Amino acid sequence: MNLGNYTIKAAEIVQQAQQLAFNAQSPSIEPSHILKALIEAAETPIEYLLKKNNVTRTIVANKLEELLATLPRVKGEAAQQISREANTLLLRAEACLQTFNDQFVTPEHLLLALVQGEDAVGKLLKNAGLTESGLVTAIKELRKGESVTSSTQSQQFNALSKYAKNLNDLARQGKLDPVIGRDENGKTIQLINLYPINSKSKNYHTVKLFIDKGSKQIASIKVLGKDGNNYTYLVKSFLSNTEMNDALFVFDKQKHPKVEINDLR
């Protein structure tokens, strides 16, 4: 599999599908593994897109588990190859790039390719109420004419889907806050996403910095792990421009008598 033209999130989903197939002792990666990884992935617009099409995620998940239970199992090394159906699925996902004038495959493309299929997974999604035309309309509505031109750009659509869902709920309750990005204390929060240069050597794929706009200080940090675990660090107090004694930066020989110093000047 060549995932060079996949967004970070889409590539992680395909890799997670391989892990799911391996855990289940499946002889190959199937479309059902990709769908399971897709609907379980965090920080994607998939749940939003399903809701826009009146598709209940839990119903899809339950039917999918029934389908996964019918797959064959092998002893020894499993999931060492991708099935013909799954390979065709990935080819369809790449073909979907033209529909949105994108340069990178996103989770949305994977879902669209799944519903286009005539296999068991495609029929599952269609029976749940998802249609190709309805999904394309929902994706275009979410993006508002924008295209994906980098491996990280789709993250903004993930945020849009999150806020769109929350704002709808708040509007129905009459609690709509006119400022997007306020925390529970009423502070305006700005979000900065950080991505590792060499993601292969890290056990996380994204670090989110939440900045208090008023004080320009970090309010919290969220680390998104590749294994699906997320860690949030709350900054209770932050001291900036603290005066430091110069002695802290001077090596004291008397405190470290057993340390040998070689001055190479």
Tell me which amino acid residue 179 is.
V
Taking the C-alpha atoms of residue 44 and residue 107, their distance in angstroms, rounded to an integer, is 7
CA triple 83-87-89, angle to 5 deg: 115
Q: What is the pLDDT of residues 211-241, one digit of tens each?
A: 888 888 888 898 988 777 888 998 888 777 7
Q: What is the DSSP string of 111-150?
A: HHHHHH--SHHHHHHHHTT--HHHHHHHHHHHHTT----S
Which residues is 212 bridged to in the sheet? Answer: 189, 217
- Per the CB < 8 A criterion, the answer to whether 49 and 111 are in contact is yes
pLDDT computed for residue 157 by the predictor:
58
Taking the C-alpha atoms of residue 249 and residue 252, their distance in angstroms, rounded to an integer, is 9
> Cβ atoms within 10 A of the Cβ of 24, count?
17
Average pLDDT on 116-139 reads 96
Taking the C-alpha atoms of residue 248 and residue 106, their distance in angstroms, rounded to an integer, is 50
* Tokens (6 digits) for 27: 């002889």
pLDDT of 193 strictly over 50:
yes
Taking the C-alpha atoms of residue 73 and residue 21, their distance in angstroms, rounded to an integer, is 9
* Helix%, strand%, coil% for the chain, nearest 5: 45, 15, 40
CA triple 217-43-90, angle to 5 deg: 140
SS (H, E, C) 163-206: HHHHHHHHHHHCCCCCCCCECCCCCEEEEEEECCCCHHHCCEEE
pLDDT of 80 strictly over 90:
no
CA 2 from centre of chain = 19
- In order of start, what are the domains of the chain with their CATH numbers? 8-173 (1.10.1780.10), 189-234 (no CATH)
Average pLDDT on 136-154 reads 85
Q: Which of 29-43, 184-198, 231-245 has the weakest average pLDDT?
A: 184-198
- Per the CB < 8 A criterion, the answer to whether 30 and 71 are in contact is yes
pLDDT computed for residue 265 by the predictor:
66
Taking the C-alpha atoms of residue 217 and residue 210, their distance in angstroms, rounded to an integer, is 9
**Residue 141 Cα distances to 77, 92, 146, 161, angstroms:** 43, 21, 10, 10
In this prediction the pTM is 0.61
- Per the CB < 8 A criterion, the answer to whether 45 and 110 are in contact is no
Mean pLDDT for all residues in the chain: 84
